[in-house]
Structure 1
Amino acid sequence: MAFSPKESMASRRQALGLSALGLTSAFGLVACGSSADNASSSASATPSEKPKYAGKVSVVPENEATEHNPTHPATVTGEEGTTLKSVKLVNDTTGAELKGTLSDDKTTWTSSEDLEFDTQYTLTYTAIDSQKVEGKGESTFGTVTAANQADAWIPNVQEGGVYGVGQILEFHFSEPVVNKDAIEKLISVTGKGVGEGKIRWYSDTVARWRTEDYLPARTAITAKANILGVDLGNGMIGNSNLVVNFSTSDKRYALADNYTKTMQMFVNDKLVNTVPITLGNEDWPSVVGKLVVIEQEATYKFDPTTLGLKKGDPHWYEPFTAHNTSRLTNSGVFVHQALPSAYAYVGVGNVSHGCLGMMPADAQYFFDTFDVGDIVETVNTGYPMADPDNGYGDWNIPFASYSDENYKGDW
C-alpha cells in the first residue's frame, strides 16, 4: 500500500500503535493464560493430610486392671518399630511420680520404684511409630487391696528376745496357706550351729519349725518368712517379709521322775540341783514327755472352772493363787510352789491336778534359773503325753516324722 507523505506518517503511527496493541494483547494473553493454568492446577491438587499415628504399645498391667501385685513392676513396651519418647507413672493418692528406666533401644520402660499396696496409679506415655509420628496413651490400674493381703508373724518369739534352746518357732499367717510347699521354702531360721529344720502344719494358718536337736546355746538367730508379693493361695498376697532376730540362753533341762518324786535340773548338761516334787494324783496324773516353758509369772490364780469343774464335782478345789509359776501346757500344767497343805506330800506322794509342785525355796530356784523356751521332761507317770499343740510338745515327735501331719504319737 502506498501512502502520501501525510497519510504515510499518520498511517504508520496508527500501524505502530496497532502493532503495539497487538503485542501488548499477546503478552497479556500469555500472562492471563499462565495464571489460569496455575489456578486450575491448584484447584485440582489434593491438600496434603497430616500422617496419622500408627504405633503399637502394650502396657502391663492393662488399663483399669485391679489387684495388681505391687511387687511386679509396671512396664510399657513399643512394638512393630514403635519407640518410647517419655513415660510417667503417678501415685494418684500422693501425686508422686515413680522412677523408671528406659531401655537403650527406647522400646521398653520399666518402673524401678516399689509400688504400694491398695493404691491407684495413672500411667501416661508418648510414643513414636515407625514413620516418626508421635502418639500418646494413658492407662490406670490399682494394686492389691486390703481384702486380698496376708501377713505373717511369730507370736512366741519377740524381736531381741532371749529364749531357751528348746523354743519352738511358731509361724502364724493371717490367711489360709494353700500353697504350703512354696511357703515352706520361704521360711528360714539361721544362726551359727543351727541345724536343718523341718516344718509341721497344725492348721492352714499355723506352722511350727524345729531342728532335730535343740537350738545351739548362746547363739544369735534370725527367723524369716519372705512372703512379700507371694500368693499364699486363693489370691492372698503377702504384704511384707517377716524378720525376727533373737538369741538363745544357756542350755537348761529339767527331768521330773515320778518314781523318785524328784526333779533334776541341768544347766549346760551339768547337774545343778535335785529337789523333791509332788506330781498329779491318780485322777489327774501328770503327762509324760518333753514340754517347753511357755510363760512365767510370779503369781498365778488357779481357777477350777477353767477345767470345766463345778462346785460339788469330785475334783473340785477352791481357787487359789500359786507362786513362782512356769506354764508347760495351755490346759494348765505348771511347775509351781506347792500349797502349804501339800508340803507334807512333796517328795512322798502325788496330790496335784497334774502340776509339778515344789517346796518354796526349790520353786524359787527353778523360777530364777529356768526361763521361757527351756525343756522340762516328765517320766514314769503311766499317763500319755500331752497333745503336741497343747503347749509345745513338738520334741516328743520323732524328727523323721515331724513334717507328717498324720503322725500320731502317745498322746
Structure 2
Amino acid sequence: MITRWAVGVVAALALAGCTSGNPQAGQAIAVGEPGKPAVITTTPADGAVDVSPVEAISVAVANGELEKVALTNPAGKQVKGVLDGATWTASEPLGYGKTYTWSGAVRGDDGERVELTGDFTTATPSSTVHASLNVADDRTYGVAMPIKVTFDPPVTDRAAAERRLTVETSVPTEGSWAWLNGGAAAHWRPKAYWKPNTQVTVTAKVYGVDLGDGAYGDEDVSAEFTIGRSQIVKADTKTHRMVVIRDGKKVHDFPASYGLESDRRRVTRSGTHVVMEKYRVKAMTNPTFGYSDVEVPFAVRIHNNGEFIHGYADSMWAQGKENVSHGCINLSPANAEIYFNSVLTGDPVEVVSDVPLGEFDADYGDYYDWAIPWSEWQKKSALVG
C-alpha cells in the first residue's frame, strides 16, 4: 500500500528529474552584464597649454586598469610617477615651455585594450624670479632673527608669492609676513622674540608659480635652522652703559660711548637693532666726517648705515661718561672681545636714545622689523583683508 506521503515524495523526485543535465541538476545559471569599456581621464586635458609645471599631473581610468603609463618630455626622458592600479600620478615637477606626451595602455572591464595618447604644454615664463633666504641650514641664530625672502627682480603679485611661503616651528609661535624694502623682500618675524631652542623650517615654494606679469619662480628654496639661547643687549645712551642679559640674567655691564648727540647725523638711534654680522677687524670709512680705513677690533654690525658695536681704545676716556662716537657703540677692546665671542647673528640690541629708528632704515636692507608695532606689521602682509 502506498501512502499519500510516499506518493508526494515520488512526485517531487520525478519533477526534479525533469531539469536539464547541462548545467547539472539544481545548479543556478549566472546571468551578468557584459564588462564596460574603459574611460580614460588625463589631467590636464589633452591639448592644454600654459600648464603650471607644478600642477597636479595624472591619468586615471574608470571601468578598467592601467597596464602601463609613460609621460615623456621632448628629449625623450620619462617623468617619474607612481602607478596605482587605476591611477598614475607624476612625482616630480615638470619643465617650463615643454610639450609632454602620454603613452601606454589601458585594459577595460570589457577586456578590450585601449592605447593611452595625448599631450599638453607647460607655461613659458616671460621672465623668471630668483628667491633667496637670509638664513641657512644647520645654523643657530639669536632670538630676534627675522626671516627674509628676497625676490630678484621684485614680484608684482605679492599675494601669489606670500601664499607659497611657509614657516614651521617646533613650538607654537605666532608670527606674520610683511613686505619691506620697497616690496623686494618678504620678512617673517614672531610677535615676540623667539623662544630659545626653537627649531625652524622656512620654505619658499615658488617654482612654477606665476608671481605676476608672467614672471615665474625659477626654483624652490628652504632652510632648517635653530634659535639659540636668549641674549639681549640693553644699550642706554643716557647712562653710557651697555648691559648684556643672557637667559634672563645680567652677565655684563660695560661702560660705553655712543654717538655724539649734538649732531643728529652721528647719534645712535633708538629702537631694537638686530646683529647682522661680525668681523674680528673692520676698516671704518666715512668721507662725510673725514676718516678712512680706520681699523677697529671686534666689530659687530647692528645696522647697514654704519652702526656697530666695536672696540676702540682711543675713546676709552669717554666710555661710561660721554657720547663721542659717529653712531657706533664704543667699548674697550677687551670688553668688545668678550661681547664679540658671545654674539649670534639675530641677537637683539635695544637702544634707548632721543632719535628713533625710522622706516627709511628698511631702504638700507636692515632688519628694521622690530621697530614696527605688531598691529602695523600685520597690515604689511599681502594677504590681509
TM-score (normalizing by structure 1)? 0.70
1:385 equivalent among 357, 376, 379: 357
Residue of structure 2 in register with 1:291 after alignment? 273
1:265 is displaced (CA, Å) by 1.0
Specify every segment of 5 or more residues in structure 2 that has no aligned partner in the other structure, as ranges.
1-37
Residue of structure 1 in register with 2:52 after alignment? 69
* Alignment partner of 1:92 is 2:74: yes
CA 1:354/1:110 → structure 2, altered by over 3 Å: closer, same or farther?
same
**What amino acid does structure 1 have at the position aligned with 2:325?**
S
CA distance in 1, matches of 2:336, 2:299: 8
CA distance in 1, matches of 2:333, 2:230: 24
* Alignment partner of 1:251 is 2:230: yes
CA 1:73/1:396 → structure 2, altered by over 3 Å: closer, same or farther?
closer
CA distance in 2, matches of 1:137, 1:260: 79
1:269 is displaced (CA, Å) by 1.4
**What amino acid does structure 1 have at the position aligned with 2:329?**
L
1:249 is displaced (CA, Å) by 1.5
CA distance in 1, matches of 2:60, 2:200: 44
CA distance in 1, matches of 2:318, 2:54: 63
CA distance in 2, matches of 1:394, 1:337: 27
The 8 Å contact of residues 194 and 215 in structure 1, kept in 2 or not, is answered as no
CA 1:138/1:162 → structure 2, altered by over 3 Å: closer, same or farther?
same
CA 1:248/1:146 → structure 2, altered by over 3 Å: closer, same or farther?
same
Specify every segment of 5 or more residues in structure 1 that has no aligned partner in the other structure, as ranges.
1-54, 310-314, 407-411
1:240 is displaced (CA, Å) by 4.6
* Alignment partner of 1:398 is 2:381: no
CA distance in 1, matches of 2:222, 2:146: 16
Residue of structure 1 in register with 2:347 after alignment? 374
Local SS of the residue matching 2:291: coil
1:341 is displaced (CA, Å) by 3.0
Question: What's the CA shift string for 1:31-84, capped at 9, x where partnerless?
Answer: xxxxxxxxxxxxxxxxxxxxxxxx9987655666554222224456899x9998
CA distance in 2, matches of 1:114, 1:378: 49
1:264 is displaced (CA, Å) by 0.9
CA distance in 1, matches of 2:257, 2:93: 60
The RMSD of aligned alpha carbons is 3.5
**What amino acid does structure 1 have at the position aligned with 2:327?**
G
Identity across matched positions, percent: 25
Local SS of the residue matching 2:379: coil
The 8 Å contact of residues 139 and 225 in structure 2, kept in 1 or not, is answered as yes
**What amino acid does structure 2 have at the position aligned with 1:274?**
D
Local SS of the residue matching 2:370: helix
1:162 is displaced (CA, Å) by 0.6
Local SS of the residue matching 2:316: helix
Greater radius of gyration (CA): 1
CA distance in 1, matches of 2:151, 2:224: 18
The 8 Å contact of residues 91 and 98 in structure 1, kept in 2 or not, is answered as no
The 8 Å contact of residues 164 and 252 in structure 1, kept in 2 or not, is answered as yes
CA 1:264/1:113 → structure 2, altered by over 3 Å: closer, same or farther?
closer
Residue of structure 2 in register with 1:334 after alignment? 308
Count of residue pairs brought into register by the alignment: 336
Residue of structure 1 in register with 2:165 after alignment? 187
* Matches for 1:227-376 after TM superposition, within 5 Å: 227-238=206-217, 240-281=219-260, 282-283=262-263, 284-305=266-287, 309=288, 315-338=289-312, 340-376=313-349
The 8 Å contact of residues 160 and 210 in structure 2, kept in 1 or not, is answered as no
Residue of structure 2 in register with 1:9 after alignment? none
Local SS of the residue matching 1:344: coil
CA distance in 2, matches of 1:175, 1:287: 31
CA 1:94/1:85 → structure 2, altered by over 3 Å: closer, same or farther?
closer
